[in-house]
Amino acid sequence: MWTLIGRDGKPHLSAEPGTIGGHRGGRLYGRLDCRTALQALARGGYVKSRVFFRDEPTAIAAGYRPCAVCMPLEYAKWKTAIAR
């Protein structure tokens, strides 16, 4: 079983792993192979605040924003939307 964050922002158990990783403190999400997240994990940081989502729409519904590093197009769209 995997613990994923749901659309309501609360953890729940899932039989399938998440496809998107996130950082609880920064309220951001990104790809599981994000170089910035992997670097932070290698330094020993980030682990306690790491969360996982089933997919991108779930991360958005939970109030998280896209990572500027691994999801630059999604981040640009998000940034434009909040500037309005």
Measured CA to CA, the distance from residue 62 to residue 10 in angstroms comes to: 8
pLDDT tens profile 4-13: 999 999 999 9
Count the Cβ atoms, other than its own, within 10 Å of residue 6: 14
Instruction: Tell me the CATH number at 69.
Output: 3.40.10
pLDDT tens profile 61-78: 999 999 999 999 999 999
Measured CA to CA, the distance from residue 23 to residue 84 in angstroms comes to: 25
Q: Report the predicted TM-score, pTM, of the whole model to 2 decimal places.
A: 0.89
pLDDT tens profile 20-29: 999 999 999 9
Domain range for 42 is 2-83
As for how many domains the chain has, the answer is 1
Residue-level pLDDT at 1 = 85
